[in-house]
């Protein structure tokens, strides 16, 4: 019953937001680096923060630091969707939010300073990489459902570390968002508030699961996005480009922009690939050879990513 109520409330809320976005001109205008051509409502990802709000109301005692952190990054990201903010200010806000959840998870007393420092850097990197990967219809919603579903499975069948609703609520929100986004012509985009808040939610979940199981294997729940993001950054550094500027060099952008593959098919492809990897992780997490699997998955994804250069070479010769 609670899930039906949450669904109704979230649908009602996003429809109200569409009215407000139309009124106050909160829209995404395409440019030469965009993967879309139509003016579209921005900030539909506010539904993720609303899902966090409802979870917080129902689980106040166990989610205080998480909710404060996700509210902080969501507010700044939403403002950035409307009026651009300096990257340094966004990074500072993300740093404070990550510190909050690390404090709430008692990480500062569990690990040495160098692990904590590295974890903060990685967490901020994940937030921004998730944001950069949100560039075509459906990719953020579908991929996020896969990640949250993988975490839900781990919570139920491997190590119970949090209330199931912590994953079910964002899954419901992503499904509703996809109804408006997973179209040939999207009704709305997630905006920074959507991609950043989802990434923050996932970071909190992965950190808690890693602490409970004393294993980093779970980071592979983000393997597809992670390899695409890191390899693209390395490629752009090699080309001496500013990695903080918008671009069209991610693998998914080559497929959807240069090769004109339907955005929805590319998004489905990313989601299916992550499902396959998550299934391997869930099946081998307790095996002695799990870290060989870890290396094998990363290596395989790098090979898949490397095919981008073959595609680009063929494209440049046509």
- Residue 31 placed within a domain: no
How much is the pLDDT for 30? 60
Give the mean pLDDT per block of 10 residues along the chain (318 residues).
94 95 78 58 94 94 91 95 86 96 95 96 95 92 98 96 96 97 90 96 97 95 96 91 84 88 95 98 91 94 88 64
How much is the pLDDT for 33? 52
Number of structural domains (the chain) is: 1
- Residue 21 placed within a domain: yes
Is residue 144 a contact partner of residue 177, using CB atoms and an 8 Å limit?
A: no
What are the distances in angstroms from CA 75 to CA 134, 144, 197? 18, 20, 10
Cα–Cα distance between 249 and 269 in angstroms, integer? 17
How much is the pLDDT for 131? 93
How much is the pLDDT for 68? 96
- Residue 89 placed within a domain: yes
Question: Which residues form the domain of 175?
Answer: 2-26+36-316
- Residue 188 placed within a domain: yes
- Residue 312 placed within a domain: yes
How much is the pLDDT for 7? 97
Question: SS3 for 241?
Answer: coil
- Residue 10 placed within a domain: yes
Which helix H or strand E contains 41, and what residues bound it?
A: strand 40-41
- Residue 261 placed within a domain: yes
How much is the pLDDT for 228? 96
- Residue 214 placed within a domain: yes
Extract the tokens encoding 208: 């808690």
How much is the pLDDT for 51? 97
**Is 268 buried (19+), middle (13-18) or exposed (0-12) by CB count in 10 A?**
middle
Q: Provide the Cα torsion 59, 62, 63, 68; round to 10°.
A: 120
């Amino acid at each position: 019953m609670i899930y039906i109520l949450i669904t109704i409330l979230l649908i009602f809320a996003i429809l109200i937001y569409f009215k407000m976005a139309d009124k106050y001109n909160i829209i995404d205008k395409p440019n030469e680096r965009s993967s879309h051509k139509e003016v579209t409502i921005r900030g539909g990802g506010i539904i993720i923060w609303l899902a966090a709000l409802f979870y917080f109301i129902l689980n106040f005692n166990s989610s205080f630091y998480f909710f404060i952190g996700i509210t902080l990054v969501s507010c700044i990201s939403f403002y950035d969707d409307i009026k651009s903010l300096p990257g340094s200010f966004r990074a500072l806000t993300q740093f404070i939010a990550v510190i909050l959840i690390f404090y709430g998870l008692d990480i500062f007393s569990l690990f040495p300073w160098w692990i904590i420092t590295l974890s903060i850097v990685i967490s901020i990197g994940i937030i921004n990489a998730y944001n950069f990967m949100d560039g075509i219809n459906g990719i953020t919603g579908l991929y996020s459902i896969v990640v949250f579903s993988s975490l839900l499975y781990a919570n139920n069948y491997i190590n119970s570390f949090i209330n199931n609703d912590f994953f079910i609520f964002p899954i419901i929100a992503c499904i509703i968002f996809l109804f408006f986004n997973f179209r040939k012509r999207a009704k709305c985009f997630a905006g920074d508030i959507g991609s950043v808040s989802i990434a923050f939610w996932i970071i909190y979940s992965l950190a808690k699961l890693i602490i409970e199981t004393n294993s980093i294997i779970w980071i592979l729940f983000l393997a597809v996005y992670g390899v695409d993001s890191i390899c693209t950054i390395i490629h752009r550094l090699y080309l001496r480009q500013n990695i903080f500027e918008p671009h069209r060099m991610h693998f998914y952008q080559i497929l959807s922009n240069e090769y004109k593959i339907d955005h929805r098919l590319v998004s489905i492809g990313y989601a299916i690939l992550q499902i396959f990897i998550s299934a391997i992780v869930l099946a081998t997490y307790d095996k002695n050879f799990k870290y060989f699997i870890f290396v094998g998955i990363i290596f395989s994804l790098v090979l898949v990513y490397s095919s981008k250069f073959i595609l680009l070479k063929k494209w440049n010769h046509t």
